[in-house]
Structure formats: C-alpha cells, structure tokens
Amino acid sequence: MNFIKRRWLQSRWIGNTLMKEGELLRKSPHQKLVMGMRLAVLEDQTAAVVAQDQLVNVFLTGAYQLERDKMPLLQPDYKHNWLFPAELYFINLAVSAPYQWQPLTPLLTRDYERGLVQLFISGSYTAQVDNAALFMRNMVLQKGYYDWPSLHRYLCAHLNDAVVSLLTSQYIPLAGLPRIKEKGSRMLSQEMNRHLSGNGLCLRELSIETLGIHPSMQRLLTEQQDYLDFNQARLRSIVG
C-alpha cells in the first residue's frame, strides 16, 4: 500500500496559482515532499524548499522533478524513508505596487542664513525581490518578513536613516531645495540598494515628491520675518 501511495504521490504535480497583487509569499499546503514529485514554478515566481528553518534549495521558473541529490540537506521521515518533512514557499518576483513613505519626525539641516532648519520630506518607491535565496535566508527565515506591509515598515526605517545620512553629508541651501529633488532621489536610491543587496531586495523606483521646510518651522520663520520687517519699517519711520 505504501508503494502504491508513493507512486501516486510521485506522479502528482505541485504548483501554485498566480499570486494576487501585493502578495509576496505563499506557503504550499504540502508539509512533506516525495522524491520524484514534479514541481511547476510559474513566471515571475520562485519556489524555495525549507527544512528545519534552513533553506534547502530554490527553483526558478520552470518544471522540475524533485531529486535527492539536489537537496542533500533533506532528511527522510523516521517512519517512511520516502517522505521528507519540508516547507515549500512560492515567492512573488513581480515589482510591488508604489508605497508612500515619510519620516516620522522632521529632519534637521543647516542653512547659512537661517541656521538649523527642520525639513519635511516624503516620497514613494517600488520594490522587488531580486535574489530569492538571499531573501529567504536573510529576510524570511532570520527576520520573519513574510509580506509587503511588514517589509514596508522595514524599508521605511532604513529610508529614514538614509535620508538623515544624506542631509548631514550634503550642504543643502534652502533656496536650492526644489532643484535637488531629482538628484536626492537618485542618491537615496543608490544608498538604499547598497544596503538591500545583501538581503535579496532592491528598489526599482524611488522618488522624492515633497521636500521643503516643515510647516511648523515655516510658521516660525514667517513670524521671524514679519518681526524683522516690522522693526525695519519702524526704524525707517523713526529715521524719517
């Protein structure tokens, strides 16, 4: 009976349907693999076999027959030598939908005329898994990121750090803020991708959409300028 069941399982195809927009990772209901099973991986997906929280192998788009020599880390079930306890994941390689980001607190920069100034910055980005093995090993198995919302929080935290680093390393005059948005987007994207390359992720598009003086700081500067204008007008009236 076990032999018949094994042959029946071997003849089965394991596959995955098209993932929904925004879906990053899907776990197969199959908790045990049978050597000889056939695996189908759709376009824009990668399959990853995990056993005991270790990445065993990844399979790119295509059709495969599961073989023992391709997954030497797999150990057979203690009752059935032909069953191998493992988890099968399908990873979506498509570019994510645009996500909005902005630092939680105002950013500080120094202007020659105004001194320390608080800036407001916001933008959007799209991301993609570009190395499934690194992503599974470093982001999913080590850090527990299984979906885009949790990855979005991770990326926003590092975007905040990268923006602070960019602002502190570059002298940005207030008068030149509108002209540096494109340059800043490019520098920020490069800095982020240097950090993400070791985790199997990359940013495909990143844009700074808003960059200017923080509203609270703008009100303060306006009040200061009104005060200066008032004193100058008063001085002129006195001098006559």
Q: Is residue 1 predicted with pLDDT exceeding 50?
A: no
Q: Is 226 helix (H, G, I), strand (E, B) or coil?
A: helix
Sign of torsion over alpha carbons 9, 13, 18, 24: positive
User: Per-residue confidence at 8, pLDDT binned at 50, 70, 90?
Assistant: very low
CB 150 within 8 A of CB 127: no
User: Per-residue confidence at 20, pLDDT binned at 50, 70, 90?
Assistant: confident
The answer as to whether 237 is a domain residue is: no
User: Per-residue confidence at 99, pLDDT binned at 50, 70, 90?
Assistant: very high
User: Which CATH number covers residue 137?
Assistant: 3.30.479.30
The answer as to whether 235 is a domain residue is: no
> How many C-beta atoms surround the C-beta of residue 88 within 10 A?
23
- Structure-model confidence comparison of residues 10 and 149, the more confident one: 149
| % of the chain residues with pLDDT over 90 | 35
The answer as to whether 62 is a domain residue is: yes
Task: Share the mean pLDDT of the chain.
Answer: 79
The pLDDT tens digits for 143-167 are 999 999 999 999 998 888 888 777 6
Residues 6+ apart with CB under 8 A from 149: none
Give the structural domain span for 59.
2-92
pLDDT at 6: 52
d(CA 124, CA 188): 12
